Each structure stands twice: as C-alpha cells, then as structure tokens.
A and B are shown apart, each in its own frame.
Chain A
C-alpha cells in the first residue's frame, strides 16, 4: 500500500524567508512523487515531479524537492518566499506512470509581509 504524510497542516513564513514543507511517503514500489499547489477556488497545478532520475528535483517558481530514500522523505523547499506563494500544497505519490494519485492531507502555506 502507498501513502503520504504531510507533517505540518499549516506553515507560516515571512516574505523573503525560506520555505520548508515536509512530506514522508510509504511505497512498496519505486514511487513517482509529486508536489501540487492549489490556490483558493482553483484547480491543482504541478510544481515538480520525481520519477527515479536525479534526486534533487527543480520545479516552477523557484521550488525544489529532494528525494531521500533512506528517510522516505520528499520535502519541498524554496529559498525565499513570495506573497503569491500563499496556497495549499499537496504531496502526492503514484505507483506507476498513469496510475492513480494518492494525495496527502495538504499543508497550508501563509506568507506574512
């Protein structure tokens, strides 16, 4: 069985400071891992994905994530937060290409001016 656990339901940072959103996964197979962002009343936008290539994955808008198999983690980071980053972030696992996506519960990111 596969699952993801997002360790923080809410993270608050000041504009210009680093962002860290934590995610642990469980998978019997070599997983594909994703981070999606959801702005209020909007659909889901893909930030980045890991599919067994480089362990450090760069995404859009300055976000990146590092796949650590020994720690079963896939944390999302950004060096400097922007007000427009305020949104809900989901860590997602999929067992194979085209397979169903299993979402974490989400982390709400707030950015203070």
Chain B
C-alpha cells in the first residue's frame, strides 16, 4: 500500500518565480494538509483541504494557495518566491478518525 507521495523531491527556484508542489495521498485518505519546515524548526501548518475546499488555514500569506482534485490529490502553489520560502514542504494525508501519514517532502531552495 503506497503511502503519501510528493513530487518533486528537490527543486531550485529564483526569487520572484512561482512554484507548484504535488501530493498524492495515501489510498483511502480524503484530507490533505500542507506544512512548511524551515531548517532547524518544527513544521508549520499552511492549510488543509477536504472535499476540494480549503478547510483550515495557518498564518501564511495569500502567496500560498492550494488545490485538491476529486481523486484527493493536492497541489501547493507559491507565487512571488522569497528567499525565506526556502524550506522542506511536507504533505500529510488523513482519514478521520485515523491519524496522519506524512510524505517525505519536497526540498525547495530559492536563490
């Protein structure tokens, strides 16, 4: 049974560019959450998607947006990249009342 799959695993972008990260949830999971983990920090909640709608949102600017498709897969989009957006981006899927399964993450470097 495949777990959470994220792509790409690594990428490098230039300041001001836009980026799209992708997540395929664990089979049977209908909820997808995104987290940003800066170097040496704990993950920070960005937002959560359920039934193709943003259900909760953390303290992140509107440059961060997302989408969930009918097959429950999800995308995280970041516009106007800043150097401070460099981080590991983690996707987690879940099916209530069960717990979360995390992917291995996408390492984004902004130069």
Q: Are A100 and B45 in touch, CB under 8 angstroms?
A: yes
Provide the residues of chain B in CB contact with A13, threshold 8 Å.
none
Mask, B91-111, CB within 8 Å of A = 1, is: 010101101101111000000
Q: Which of the residues A44, A100, A104 comes within 8 Å of B102, measured between beta carbons?
A: A44
Contact A43/B90 with A90-B42, A97-B97 known, Cβ cut-off 8 Å: yes
Residues in B whose Cβ lies below 8 Å from that of A103: 35, 42-44
**Taking CB as reference atom, which chain B residue is nearest A98?**
B96
- The CA-CA distance from A41 to B92 in the complex, in Å, is 16
Measured in the bound complex, the distance between the Cα atoms of B53 and A11 in whole Å is 41
CB–CB A100/B56 < 8 A: yes
Write out the residue numbers on chain B whose beta carbons fall within 8 Å of the beta carbon of A104: 42
Whether the pair B90, A44 counts as a contact (CB closer than 8 A) is yes
Q: How far is the CB of A34 from chain B (nearest CB, A)?
A: 8
Q: Tell me which residues from 89 to 107 in chain A have a Cβ below 8 Å from any Cβ of chain B.
A: 90, 97-106
Interface residues of A in 15-51 (CB under 8 A from B): 34, 36, 41-46, 49
Interchain CB contact under 8 A, A44 and B41: no
* Chain A residues positioned under 8 Å from B68 (CB to CB): none
Closest CB in chain A relative to B85 CB, distance in Å: 18
Interface size class of A (residues with CB under 8 A): 20 to 34
- Whether B24 is near chain A, meaning CB under 8 Å from some CB there, is no
Q: Let me know if A100 and B99 touch, CB within 8 A.
A: no
Q: Name the residue on B nearest A103 (C-beta).
A: B42
Rounded to whole Å, the gap between the CB of A82 and the closest CB of chain B is 22
| Residues of chain A contacted by B33 (CB below 8 angstroms) | 100-101
Say yes or no: A43-B99 contact (C-beta < 8 A), given A99-B56, A100-B48, A100-B58. Answer: no
Besides the known contacts A43-B105, A99-B56, A101-B100, 19 further A-B residue pairs in the complex with CB atoms under 8 A apart: A36-B102, A43-B4, A43-B103, A44-B43, A44-B90, A46-B99, A46-B100, A49-B99, A90-B43, A97-B97, A98-B97, A100-B45, A100-B56, A100-B58, A101-B43, A101-B45, A105-B42, A106-B40, A106-B41
Chain B residues packing against A (C-beta within 8 Å): 4, 31, 33, 35, 40-45, 48, 56, 58, 90, 92, 94, 96-97, 99-100, 102-105
